[in-house]
Amino acid sequence: MLAQKMRDGRSAFFNLKLHYLGVNNVDNMHATAERKLQTNSYTGETRKWNFEKYVRVHVDQHAILNGFREHGYSGIDKRTMVRYLTVGIKTRSLDHVKTRILSDASLQENFPACVNLFQDFITQMEAESPNITIAAMHDTQSCREPKNKYRKHNNNAKTGRGRGNR
């Protein structure tokens, strides 16, 4: 307020910086970023949530946490990145990939390689699973053709029930 009355832009900038990058607010932002990493989860491909979005949340939070290095935080180390990634995956179909990552020490410290491994496995699973829709379903017990399949409907008929003579 004082900077506004005095029309002092430099003082206003430092006040904003102190407010948004002050010790308490940086602690809160750091805790929020870590909480998002801990609570973010992937349970499988859905229309609104897929593996790409799951990874994007992780990458964004990693950038936020690493941005706090100039404020006295150590950021996030590579093993913790991979640990948060694998812990958040809640589907049993990716347990093979998680086991592979946990068994390889070099993968435990390589977040992009782990993401690629998961993405390749998900893509392979999608390619192998048949994409069955309701229209593709076929009743195998009754293979006979339905009655009146080839009957033409005449919408121009002048007579019929409830129509009377026209």
pLDDT tens string, the chain, 166 residues long: the values are: 565 666 678 877 777 766 666 667 778 888 899 999 999 999 998 999 999 999 999 999 999 999 888 877 788 999 999 999 999 999 999 999 999 999 999 999 999 999 999 999 999 988 887 766 665 555 555 555 556 656 565 555 555 565 555 5
pTM, rounded to two decimals: 0.66
Q: Determine the Cα–Cα distance for residues 79 and 101; give it in Å rounded to an integer.
A: 11
Q: Determine the Cα–Cα distance for residues 83 and 102; give it in Å rounded to an integer.
A: 9
What does the DSSP 8-state code read for residue 123?
H
51, 42 Cβ separation under 8 angstroms: yes
Q: Domain residues of the chain, as ranges? A: 10-129
Residue 28 tokens read as 């809160």
Q: Residue 56, Cα to own-chain centre: how many angstroms?
A: 7
Rg, Å, the chain Cα set: 30
Q: Determine the Cα–Cα distance for residues 103 and 101; give it in Å rounded to an integer.
A: 5
